[in-house]
Structure 1
Amino acid sequence: MMQASSTLEVSIPAPQVEVQILQSPYDKPVKAIGFIDTGATRTMLNPEVLPDDAWRTHYEYFQAADGQKFSTSLISKKPAGIQFFPECIIWMHVIGSKLHGRDLLIGFDLYHKAQRLQVLPTGLKYKRYFQPHTRVGREPYIPITGAGWKGV
């Protein structure tokens, strides 16, 4: 006879959207996947997305939600454009950091600067535009054990 396992594994989809990164209004945009994390204070871009000459040295120190401290050593020389929709491009300096297989971490600073951009459970909305969350191969797997769920 088989025994029931008390562990239930559920995959929580990470809120990710397709964006385009612009070095200037005249440059060809680079496609990227943006991970939305409104708990992050700063927006971070993988340094490999922009050329080496687009970065300068700038040290900033952070504390992650789990208490771990880390630092970054790069910031964009000029504001980079992050385009969510044809009429929604946010220009800002971004921190350069290796993001464990991610292109862009969308922090609260960008969300605050982007007026009328709404983060919904199903995707992003801006004026009359809507973009659903993207599922990509680099999406993290977050297991949840049954011990934390009452009544499961």
Structure 2
Amino acid sequence: MTNQKSSQQPRVDAVMRDEERLDGRLHSDVLDEYGFFKDPELWTRDLALRVAAEMDLDELSDTHWRVIDQVRADYLDSGMLPVQPTLCHELDLDPDCIQRLFGGPIDVWRLAGLPNPGEEARTYMENQEAPEGQGTPQVPR
């Protein structure tokens, strides 16, 4: 039984250490063509930080992490996109917290390490994005 290859996928920390395979970007084994995680189990906060850097989010505040963690927990529990105003209300944030912090739900979905929600949901999320020219998402201080 020695030298048998495991059928399990490599852990993300092993993938993260292999800079040659990453070539400065997230490896295609981790993200799909739309930038969504292929397997939510591979998600780590370090990978979320790399995704955020590629999205030009300079830093993720505690508020960002609260939203990311809640979106992730809701998805892993129900398999669904949480209703934005409800999510923001549950976290005691303004009803537009997703747009203000991330620019829209598709970005928080990616940062939360969730899989491609499918064409219909992806289109819905893209339509919820902040209009161009409204600046960069705000980071609470």
TMscore range, shorter length: under 0.3
Task: Write 1 or 2 for the structure with the bigger share of helix.
Answer: 2
**Which gives a bigger RCO, structure 1 or 2 (Cα 8 Å, sep 6+)?**
1
Task: Write 1 or 2 for the structure with the bigger share of strand.
Answer: 1
Larger radius of gyration, structure 1 or 2? 1
**TM-score calculated relative to the size of structure 1:** 0.24
